[in-house]
Amino acid sequence: MRRQIGQSIIELHQGDITLESVDAIVNAANSHLLGGGGVDGAIHRRGGPSIMAETDEKHPEGCPTGSAVISTAGDLQAKHVIHAVGPRWQGGNRGEAELLAGAYRRSLELAVEYDCRSISFPAISTGVYGYPMDSAAWIALATALDFVRKHGRPELIRFVLFSDGAFEAFSAAMEQLT
């Protein structure tokens, strides 16, 4: 499923983000940038130790929730990994929506700053962090649409969804968003 906005394309794909050959893949990181399970574990396993060596050196203080930092991508096909820190779901009244949008927005800003023409996102915060998939999908897509409308870049934004449920939620949100 894909949508064209000006010169940019937003598309949905079901699969494993570590196999993406785009300029940047986004990691659903935690604020300590210490690695973990889920997509973070998969990226560090396949990308090798140089990614964490770089984030340890450049960002020993970690990264605040709702923001992101960028590194090279080790053995991955991508050129960069953008480590985005989404919020842990705490019921919805702790600013989770704005923090999740912030993690996507900052990732897109970094992609543009580093001349990335293509970027792939996982469904940030929807695994261990427990963000409800339907609302997370809506926020992810609304933030991406808003960004490309304002900036006309990057050329390609892919959402790489791991499960059937994630793909269905993103597809439904994509159909409804104008």
Q: Residue 123, CB half-sphere, CA atoms under 13 Å: how many?
A: 29
Q: Which is nearer to ligand ADP, 153 or 167 (CB)?
A: 167
Q: Is 123 in the site for ligand ADP (CB under 6 A)?
A: yes
Catalytic site residue 75?
no
Rg (alpha carbons) of the chain, rounded to whole number: 15
Residue of 16, 40, 146, 164 with catalytic role: 40
- Find tokens 């053995």 and name the residue: 75
Q: Is 26 in the site for ligand ADP (CB under 6 A)?
A: no
The Cα-based distances of 1 to 6, 64, 160, 174, 175 in angstroms read: 17, 32, 11, 9, 10
- Find tokens 């449920």 and name the residue: 165
Q: Is 71 in the site for ligand ADP (CB under 6 A)?
A: no
Residues pairing with 29 in the sheet: 85
**Nearest-approach distance from CB 112 to ligand ADP, in angstroms:** 22
Q: Which is nearer to ligand ADP, 139 or 166 (CB)?
A: 166
Q: Which is nearer to ligand ADP, 16 or 98 (CB)?
A: 16
From residue 142 to residue 161, the character string flagging contacts with ligand ADP as x (rule: CB under 6 A) and all else as - is ------------------x-
Q: Which of 2, 6, 7, 16 binds ligand ADP (CB under 6 A)?
A: 16
Neighbours of 163 (CB within 10 A): 13
154: preceding bond cis by omega (within 30 degrees): yes
Region of 125 on the Ramachandran plot (φ > 0 left; ψ -120 to 50 alpha; else beta)? left
Binding stretches for ligand ADP (CB under 6 A): 16-18, 28, 38-40, 42, 86, 122-129, 160, 162-163, 166
The catalytic residues are: 40
